[in-house]
Structure 1
Amino acid sequence: MNMEDPVIIYKEPNIKSCDLLAAWPGIGNVALIIAKYIKDKLGAEEIGEIEPFDFFDPIGVMVKNNIIEAPQFPESKFYYWHNPKSERDLLLFIGDEQPGIKGYELAHCVLDVAQRFKAKRVYTCAAAIARIHHTEQP
Structure 2
Amino acid sequence: MIQERSSRIPGKRKRGNRALIVAWSHDAGGIASSMIEFLDKKLGLERFGEIEPVEFFALDGVRVEDDLIQFPESRFFSPPSADNIIVLHSDAPSRDHYKFLNTILDFARDNFKVKDLYTVGGIVSASAHLNPRRVFAVVNRRELKGELAPYGVELDVDYRTPAGSMPTLSSFLLWVAKRRGIPGCGLWV
TM over 0.5: yes
* Aligned length, in residue pairs: 121
The aligned residue for residue 71 of structure 2 is 73
Separation in 2, partners of 1:61, 1:114 = 28
What is the CA-CA distance between 1:61 and the residue it aligns to?
A: 6.5
Choose between structure 1 and 2: higher helix proportion.
Answer: 2
Under a length normalisation based on structure 1, what TM-score does the superposition of the two structures give?
Answer: 0.71
Q: TM-score, normalised by structure 2?
A: 0.54
Given candidates 90, 93, 117, the residue that maps to 2:88 is 93
Structure number with greater CO (CA < 8 Å, separation at least 6) is 1
Question: Which residue pairs with 1:51 in the alignment?
Answer: 52
2:175: which partner in 1?
none
| Residue number among 91, 96, 113 corresponding to 1:118 in the alignment | 113
Report the Cα offset of residue 126 of structure 1. Answer: 2.5
Letter in 2 for 1:77: R
Superposed CA deviations along residues 17-46 of structure 1, whole A, max 9, x for unmatched, are 311101103112211211232133201211
Identical amino acids, percent of aligned pairs:
29
Secondary structure of the corresponding residue to residue 75 of structure 2: strand
- The secondary structure found in structure 2 opposite 1:122 is strand
State the 1:76 CA deviation: 0.5
User: What is the CA-CA distance between 1:16 and the residue it aligns to?
Assistant: 3.8
Unmatched runs of 5 consecutive residues or more in structure 2? 64-68, 128-132, 135-153, 158-189
Specify the SS of the correspondent of 1:98: coil
Q: Which residue matches 2:5? A: 10
Contact 2:43 / 2:81 at 8 angstroms: preserved in 1? no
Using the alignment, how far apart are the partners of 2:57 and 2:109 within structure 1?
24
What letter matches 1:35 in structure 2?
I
Q: Distance in 2 between matches of 1:127 and 1:79?
A: 21
- CA RMSD, 1 decimal: 3.0
Q: 1:72 to 1:32 in 2, by over 3 A?
A: closer
- What 5-or-longer segments of structure 1 have no aligned partner? 1-5, 63-70
CA distance in 2, matches of 1:59, 1:122: 32
